[in-house]
Structure 1
Amino acid sequence: MTVIVTGAAGFIGMHVADALLARGETVFGIDECNAYYDPALKAARLAYLRDRHGAAFTFAKLDFADTPALDAAVAGLDIDRIVHLGAQAGVRYSIENPMAYARANLVGHLNILELARARQVRHLVYASSSSVYGGNDSVPFRVEDRTDRPLSLYAATKKSNELMSESYAHLYRLPQTGLRFFTVYGPWGRPDMMMWIFTKAILAGEPIPVFNAGRMERDFTYIDDIVAGIVAALDAPPADDGQAKPGGSMGPHRVYNIGNSRAEQLGEVIDVLEQAIGRKAIRQDLPMQAGDVVRTCADVSAIGNDLGFAPTTSITEGVPRFIRWYRDYHGV
C-alpha cells in the first residue's frame, strides 16, 4: 500500500516523506518543482530522500492541478492514504500572482479530493494555514474562532480548502484532517521565509527588513514537532460517528492548529539568530506589509487532547539547528 505525499520536494513534504519512509512506508511523491523559489533546493531534497530510502520512494514531477497528468501518474498505484501538502505558498506573493493560487490551491485541492474519493482512501490529511484567522485579535487562536475574514488571497484559498473538504466529508464520508500550520522553520526550510532571509542577510553583512519596528509576534514551530503532529494525525483518521469534531464538523472531518503554542517577538528571535550566527544584524525598520498580521499564536489543546501532540522545541534549540544546517548546505 502506498502513501501519496504531495509537495514532496517542499520543506514540510520532504520531512514528512522521510519520516514515513523511515518507519517502513512506501511513499509516492508528487511535486511540480516550480520556480517560486530555487528549484535546485527542491532537487536536493528529492536526492536526499532517494539516497536514504531507495526504491521505497518514487516520485512524479507534475502539476496536480492538471487532472489528466495526475490520473496518469497514479494509475495502477494501490493508494492507502494521502498527505496533501503541495500548494502555492506565501502571503505576499498572492498579491502579485493571484492566478497561481487559484490553480494550485483551489483546482489542485479539488483534484486531490476527487482522487481520494475515487480511490476510497482511508485518510486524507491536508495543509491549511494559520493565515485563515485573518485579523483575529483573540489570542491564542482556537479552531473555534471565526475564520471568515481573510486578509490575503492565500488565506482565502486555504479557508476554501477547509470548506471543500467539509463538503466531501459530508457527501462521501471521506475521512479528512486539516492542519493549520503556524510559522514552520528548520533544516531544509524555504528561502522565502523569515529565518532563511535573515540568516542569509546577516551572514552577508546586509540589512534585514524588520517590519512594524519588530513588534511582530509569531508562533515559530520547529519542523520535527510539525512532522510528529502530521504523522500522529495520519495514523488516527476521524470517526464517522455523528459527533462534533474540532472545527465543528459532524462528519469525518476535523481541523487542528499545529504550532508551538508560544508567540515569540520578532526582535527576540533576531537576538537568538545573532547569537547562533555570531554576528550582529543590521536592522532596517519598515512598516507593516499588506496582508500581514501582528501576532499569531496557536491553541493546540484540541490536537493535544485527541492525539497527544506536544511540541518540545524552543527557538533557543531550533534556531541553532537551522543555522548549522544552513552553513553546511551553503558551505559558509
Structure 2
Amino acid sequence: MSLGEFELIERYFMRPARRAALGVGDDCALLQPRPGMQLATSADLLLEGRHFLSTVAPERLGHKALAVNLSDLAACGAEPLGFLLSLALPAAEPDWLERFARGLFALADAHGCELVGGDTTRGPLAIHVTVFGEVPAGRALLRSGARAGDDLYVSGTLGDARLALEAWRGRVALSGEAFEATRVAMEQPQPRVTLGVALRGIASSAIDLSDGLVGDLGHVLRRSGAGATLQADALPRSAWLAAQPPEVQRLCTLAGGDDYELLFTAAPAQREAVQAAAAATGVPVTRIGTIEAEPGLRAVDAQGRPVPLALSAFDHFRP
C-alpha cells in the first residue's frame, strides 16, 4: 500500500495538542513556558549507518531518536515540553511507520513531551528531532560551573553501548544473552530527565555522555577552566563489561559513546543531597573523581598509578 506525505502524517503522527497552545497541523506550533521559566531547546540528527544499524527494530529507533534529545534536556535540568520530528524515508512502509511511532510515542508519553510539528520527505533514512523544554530562569545546569574541589559523578553504568558495537564488529565475543542486553543499551538508552531536574541547585555543572567520557568531560573542563583526576577503576560497569579484558573495559568506559548517562559535578558539601536525588529518582550515581585547579585530565587506577588516556571522543569529521 502506498501512502502520501499528508496521509502518512495524519495516520501515524497526528495527535491532539495537550500542553502546547497549538500542535501539529499549522505552519508553526505554539509553546508557552510557564511564568518564570526559560525555554531550553536541542536538536539531533540520526543517519542510518552512522548513528544506528540497519538491523535496529523500528520501535527502538523511534525511542532512541527522541531519547538522545531528552538526554540533552536532562543535562540542562529542564523538563520536556514538546518536540519536532523530521523524517527522510526511502519509502512509506506502513508496518515500519507504525512500529517507529509506537516506540517514539511510548517514550514521549512517559516524559509528557508531545509532538508539535515537523516535516517528511523521500530520501535515505534520516531522523531529525528538535526538542523543547523549560527550566526555572537562572537555574539551568551548564557545562561551565565546575570548580576545583568539586566531586565528579556519573549516573548508571558506562560502556555497554560500545561493547555491543564492538561485538557487532566482531572485535569481542559475547554470549547471545550478553549481546542482547548490551544491544538494548546501544539502541534504547534511557534519558535521565528526572535526575537532571532533581539536581537543579545541587550540581555545579552537567553534561550528557553521548561521545564518550573522556571527550565529554573535556568539554566541561574547557568551559569551566579547570582540570580533573578520574578514578578509572571506579567507573561503574555492567557484569557483561566487567567480564572483558581490562583494555576493552577501559576503551568502553572511557571512550565508548552512546551512553546517554549524566556526568555532573557537585561540591563535597552536597554529597548527601546528591545521594538523596539519586534515591528519589531511582537512578544510581557513582563518584568517579575530583575537579582540580590544574588544567588537563588525568586518570589513576585503584592503586593510584597513572592510567594513560590515549583515547578520544567520537567526532563526525575525524577518521
TM-score, normalization by structure 2 = 0.24
Q: Tell me which structure has the larger Cα radius of gyration.
A: 2
The structure whose RCO (Cα within 8 Å, separation 6+) is larger is 2
TM-score, normalization by structure 1 = 0.23
